[in-house]
Amino acid sequence: MKTKKNFETLDIYLTAFLIYHGLRPTLESRNGKIIFSFPQSDDLYRLMTEYNSDIPIPCASYVTTIKMVRSWMLAKKGEPHE
């Protein structure tokens, strides 16, 4: 069985952009840092290209998404270690 690879990032702003556009990451605490992991897909790479091309995005909605991601990070950091 072939395992699908993931794209991992520490970038909260890219993560918020991807979430705003409908992608959902898993979060992992690794060495005190939160890693955002997205399944690799054509949509992921298209959105990353759009992010790096500085496409317009509604500011208030994007900032709200950033705040949501930060709250997820804090919750993940507060979880007991395995």
Q: Is position 3 within any domain?
A: no
The number of folded domains in the chain is 1
Cα(65)–Cα(69) distance, integer angstroms: 6
The 3-class SS string of 2-48 reads CCCCEEEECCHHHHHHHHHCCCCCEEEEECCEEEEEEECCHHHHHHH
Residue at 2 is within a domain: no
Which pair of tokens denotes residue 16?
A: 């918020």
Average pLDDT along the chain: 93
Is 1 among the domain residues?
no
The percentage of residues in the chain with a pLDDT greater than 90, rounded to a whole number, is 84
Its pTM stands at 0.89
Assigned domain for 4 exists: no
Residue 58 has pLDDT above 90, yes or no: yes
Does some domain include residue 18?
A: yes
| Integer Cα distance of 17 and 52 in angstroms | 11
Range of the domain at 33: 10-77
- Mean pLDDT within 21-46: 96
